[in-house]
Amino acid sequence: MSNQLNIPKSIQKRIVIVGGGFAGLNVAKGLLKANAQIVLIDRYNFHTFQPLLYQAATSALPATSVVYPFREILNKSKSFYYRWAEVTGVDTHNKVLKCSEGDLMYDTLILATGTEVNFFGNSNIEKFSMPMKSLPQAIKIRQTILNNFEKADRCDDVIEKKALLNFCIAGGGPTGVEVSGALAEMKNEIFPRDYPHLDTDLMEIHLFEGSERLLGSMSEHAGKKALASLKNLGVILHLETEVNDYDGRKLYTSQNKEYSTENFIWAAGVVGKPLEGIPDTSVGKAKRYIVDNYNAVKNCKDIYAIGDIALMKTNDFPEGHPQVAQPAIQQGDHLAKNLARAINGKEMKTFRYFEKGYMAVVGRNKAVADIGKFQFSGFVAWLLWSFIHLFSLAGFKNRLIVFVSWIYNYINGDKSTRVIIQEATENKS
């Protein structure tokens, strides 16, 4: 077999990790000192801090401050290799991983591929909406927001102007709530200064949620506080309302209403994307890999899955762990220790999730947090959210950039990265 990925042969066991999100990054970091050859494969050459993607999308942070190169994080071991490639499948019988840049033999395979956006089979929404799962998608949202404001400023048709300034978000989870709050702050504090000749009161922000409340994964207290804060900011809430279709111009809801908008952000769900070659019997609800308490994939020898893509059912989590950062981080850390134990001939330990709580930020001085039996909201929750996210970022440089940006934004009520980065001829339509 040709070694197109140029990974040298080794007497050490080769552990291949697919995906460098929270789960993949933490298992890689935990294995750097293990007696093994570690290979990380990802289609990007950087780790993305997804909880802050919405701030890159709404100009609060430079895009590069929420990502960090894998090679800089994991360059402490000569037995570590990173390869920029797309994984296309796996031959579980011969233990071969198939990639866009060539095939690779493995001794142990760790799948940490996360999830992709779930459009629930609606091809129009998939084609015309803007999801926010990756840095390129966040940048596209930022470009669209700023482009459409520039278009509205030079537009003399009121109907067209309203469509350009109408922002619709589907999904009342943390992402939808955070994006809605950030857009509302831009409407209230920034756009009136940037566009003094434009009637920014025409800007509307609509948040659609199919259930009866916001933040369904958090406490009822958090949902109510988030709803009240968004209303105070001027966001128009549509509970028990699903978005049925969007053609790039008109949005249609389950309440038989339609909205003209050039800005539709989709934050309504995720689903797994199993690799070709993984047996159907290994895949469960929402296309997540069924794993045991050691994160081993069902009916697959020497293959593990961690993070959002892993479905581990326990008494405390009968539907699997929540698809957020903490379970991914903890599973990555735990699997690294388990594999190191196995290499040294020791017995593996079962995984047990320690729930640290859930948070969502609505705006400046406005957030909600569920930590154990306690619920926080307002300024205290906002401080907790800020410190936890700041110190969870990879790299001192990123922490410094984010901290300085937040201080500047807080003092000035400003977001300093409102730049359109594209060829001048691209926005003339």
pLDDT digits (tens, 9 = 90+) for 230-249: 999 999 999 999 999 999 99
CA dihedral 168, 421, 186, 197 (to 10 degrees): -100
Instruction: Give the pLDDT score at 285.
Output: 94
| Separation of alpha carbons 423 and 315, rounded Å | 54
- Which of 10, 19, 16, 11 lies closest to 339 in space, CA to CA? 16
Q: How far are the Cα atoms of 210, 222, 423 from residue 230, in angstroms, in the given order?
A: 17, 12, 35
> Quick one: which H or E segment has residue 72?
helix 70-73
Phi, psi of 29 (to 5 degrees): -60, -40
Instruction: Give the pLDDT score at 64.
Output: 86
176 within 8 A of 266, measured Cβ to Cβ: no
> Quick one: which H or E segment has residue 340?
helix 325-343
Q: Give start and end residues of each alpha helix (H) in 186-324.
A: 191-194, 220-233
CA 60, chain centre distance (Å)? 17
Instruction: Give the pLDDT score at 29.
Output: 94
What's the chain's length in residues? 429
Instruction: Give the pLDDT score at 414.
Output: 64
Q: Beta strand pairing status for 166-170 and 46-48?
A: unpaired
| Separation of alpha carbons 336 and 17, rounded Å | 11
330 within 8 A of 354, measured Cβ to Cβ: yes
- Which of 361, 412, 420 lies closest to 388 in space, CA to CA? 361
Instruction: Give the pLDDT score at 1.
Output: 46
Is pTM, for the whole model, over 0.85? yes
Q: Beta strand pairing status for 204-209 and 236-239?
A: parallel
| Separation of alpha carbons 384 and 222, rounded Å | 14
Q: How far are the Cα atoms of 61, 189, 338, 341, 417 from residue 308, in angstroms, in the given order?
A: 26, 36, 19, 24, 31
Q: How far are the Cα atoms of 290, 329, 342, 344 from residue 347, in angstroms, in the given order?
A: 22, 22, 6, 9
Could you tell me the mean pLDDT of each successive run of 10 residues in the chain, 429 residues long? 76 96 95 94 94 91 89 88 95 95 94 95 96 94 95 94 97 95 93 93 96 94 95 97 96 96 95 95 96 97 97 94 93 97 95 92 90 89 88 79 78 69 56
